[in-house]
């Protein structure tokens, strides 16, 4: 069973010195001072952890998921984004697990869990309104709005916790207006809070 060796190594480290441990193969129980503890029924969970019948959980590094992207290009919408109104990002600051695709600017959930997302965008000119939506599988979940007539570069921000299934997709959509380009004014970030 993958990861079982790590669980057994942890168990051995937790034993007092001189405590006899015997295991003949992967399917036989471990004997600790004459008491039988079965660990051969360990199974991996959905989040990549291995939980044994001893209650020991060994979480793999693949359970870590986080990204943060910025825009340093010119205004949106661009020629590329006019079709779908997807807000494109051109620089990744963090991409643990590589689940944020920079080319499409879409995050794909690697597993079922609770995810946190936030975004911050800046409008281009005064006398203009912008609206940005966070889209999950093509449907708007939350939006942010900026439309003060007297503010040249007003910002719009929002954040949310989402229950996502494996392969669910999240991106930002420019519903109306134009975003300020350059200087990394606009950001999009997300991370796995905990798997389910």
pLDDT in tens, 90-116: 899 999 999 999 999 999 999 999 999
pLDDT in tens, 25-47: 444 444 444 444 444 344 445 44
pLDDT in tens, 115-133: 999 999 887 766 678 899 9
Helix residue ranges, H only, 1-111:
4-14
Distance between CA atoms of residues 52 and 39, nearest Å: 6
CA distances from 66 to 13, 69, 98, 192 (A): 31, 10, 8, 6
Quote the pLDDT of residue 58.
Answer: 44
Contact 6, 58 (CB under 8 A): yes
Contact 146, 178 (CB under 8 A): no
């Amino acid at each position: 069973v993958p990861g079982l060796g790590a669980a057994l190594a942890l168990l051995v480290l937790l034993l007092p010195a001189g405590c006899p441990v015997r295991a003949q193969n992967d399917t036989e129980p471990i004997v600790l001072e004459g008491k039988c503890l079965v660990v051969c029924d360990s199974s991996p969970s959905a989040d990549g952890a291995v939980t044994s019948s001893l209650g020991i959980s060994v979480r793999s590094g693949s359970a870590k998921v986080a990204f943060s992207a910025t825009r340093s290009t010119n205004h949106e919408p661009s020629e590329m984004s006019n079709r779908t109104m997807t807000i494109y990002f051109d620089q990744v600051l963090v991409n643990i697990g590589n689940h944020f695709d920079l080319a499409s600017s879409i995050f794909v959930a690697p597993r079922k869990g609770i995810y946190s997302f936030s975004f911050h965008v800046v409008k281009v000119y005064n006398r203009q309104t912008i609206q940005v939506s966070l889209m999950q599988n093509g449907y708007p979940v939350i939006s942010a709005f900026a439309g003060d007539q007297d503010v040249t570069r007003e910002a719009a921000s929002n954040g949310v916790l989402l229950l996502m299934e494996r392969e669910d997709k999240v991106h930002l959509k420019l519903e109306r207006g134009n975003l300020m380009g350059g200087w990394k004014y606009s950001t999009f970030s997300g991370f796995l809070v905990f798997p389910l």
